[in-house]
Amino acid sequence: MTTAPATARPILEAGDIVKDYPSVKVLKQVNLSVMEGDTLAVIGPNGAGKTTLFKVLSGEVFAGSGAVIYNGRDITRMPAWRRVRMGFGRSFQVASVFLDLTAAENVLVAVEAYLAQKPAGSGPGFRCRPAADVRDLVEEILVEVDLAGKGSHEARFLSHGDKKRLELAMSLALRPRILLLDEPTAGMAPADRQASIELIAAVKQRHGMTVVLTEHDMDVVFGLASRVVVLHHGELIAAGTPDEVRENPMVREVYLGAETHYA
Ligand SMILES: Nc1ncnc2c1ncn2[C@@H]1O[C@H](COP(=O)(O)OP(=O)(O)OP(=O)(O)O)[C@@H](O)[C@H]1O
């Protein structure tokens, strides 16, 4: 687990976020601050509003009221695609990849999207590279997410875990400053989960990113997160270090279960 340095500042803030759907009040005045370099886990029972909060943060839906501030800039009404250009990466509960393309072609799409938006020689991450080198870059990214040798596999034939790795690869190709991962280990076998935790921790460390994730698996949460916030019925009921949240009586009562024990 890596913690934000003492000098860190908030990279992403949500202030008094309210989001209603016609029949349900999903988020009720949620306040959140993500420090640069942190790994923040958003946890809570099914239907607590975690995915909706993610959508508000990433710009897939807009809050009814409240503000989203990224790097000091108000992005509350900024669409998702512009947030991606500003440094947001996103993965979904169900891996979002192009099933008819190979793994390498999927990453290539993301690399080309990244290169297309950068003026020559500018921006963090990749330096401007000749087109011939793009293929090497795609391979580098596939190796980074443990998909070496699977570049020619059509995405539809990849295992669930490999599809999630591919989705992560596509996010990494966009060189995000902040990565939003919605249940990154959902549906994975235990061994795959552990590998996934290690992979996320490694890429975060290598690229110095900030990570925000939702997760039901507490081993993943406590293995990765430096900070945890707890949503319950759309309200933020606790925030702190994993240890603080683990010991919080209200959290134990309403979410983790009073009888829950952790190693
Ligand atoms: N597009 C929508 N239209 C109407 N209601 C919605 C919509 N999206 C989510 N909801 C409702 O909002 C509430 C919160 O859903 P959300 O998916 O954000 O919760 P969650 O904490 O991510 O749940 P889970 O852990 O099961 O993924 C639920 O009652 C859900 O049915």
**Residue in 19, 28, 42, 51 to alter for ligand 1 test, most ligand atoms within 8 A of Cβ:** 51
Percentage of the chain beyond pLDDT 70 is 87
Atom of ligand 1 nearest to the CA of 51: 22
**Is pLDDT above 60 for 127?**
no
Q: In this predicted structure, which of 33-42, 120-129, 173-182 has the lowest mean pLDDT?
A: 120-129
CA-proximal residue: ligand 1, atom 30 (nearest): 47
**Is pLDDT above 80 for 179?**
yes
CA-proximal residue: ligand 1, atom 9 (nearest): 52
CA-proximal residue: ligand 1, atom 4 (nearest): 21
Distance 52 CA to ligand 1 centre (A): 6
Q: Which of 211, 263, 216 is nearest to 39 (CA)?
A: 211
CA-proximal residue: ligand 1, atom 28 (nearest): 47
**Is pLDDT above 70 for 88?**
yes
CA-proximal residue: ligand 1, atom 13 (nearest): 47
In the beta sheet, which residues pair with residue 236? 231
Q: Which residues line ligand 1 (CB under 6 A)?
A: 21, 24, 26, 44, 46-52
Distance 60 CA to ligand 1 centre (A): 14
| Residue range 35-66, pLDDT digits in tens | 999 999 999 998 999 999 999 999 999 999 99
Confidence label for 220 from pLDDT (cuts 50, 70 and 90): confident
Note the pTM of the prediction, 2 decimals: 0.86
**Is pLDDT above 50 for 259?**
no
Structure-model confidence comparison of residues 174 and 31, the more confident one: 31
